[in-house]
Amino acid sequence: MTEVKENIQQTVTENDVVLFMKGTKEMPQCGFSSRVAGVLNYMGVNFKDVNVLADDGLRQGIKEFSDWPTIPQLYVKGEFVGGCDIITEMTLSGELDTMFEQNGVAFDKDAAEKIREANG
């Protein structure tokens, strides 16, 4: 399990935004992963997707690494942000925009506004 955690640490360190998800950003394999990947894709965020379904050790390892029981899991600049419900709330409140801005992560602010308008 140590090797899995080292790989996770390396992935979140080397990439500004990482989404551990079921499936890929092009083909999510669950609704929650689809929602978070959809938000990031729509907002034009460049993110690394990691398919936990491809490796049972990784699927369990990410839960232990973050001490968070569910997938998807979003990391920004090496920090765990949250899962689907938290990312949805942060998107709708504008907190996700602020986090991206503070961390120098490029995103489409107009797209973020459109998400809020559509869900307002």
Sequence ranges of the binding site for [2Fe-2S] cluster: 30
Tell me the DSSP string of the chain: -HHHHHHHHHHHHH-SEEEEESB-SSSBSSHHHHHHHHHHHHTT---EEEEGGG-HHHHHHHHHHHT--SS-EEEETTEEEE-HHHHHHHHHHTHHHHHHHHTT----HHHHHHHHHHT-
Give the C-alpha separation, 55 to 84, whole Å: 21
The closest alpha carbon to 41, from 14, 9, 74, belongs to: 74
* Binding-site positions: 30
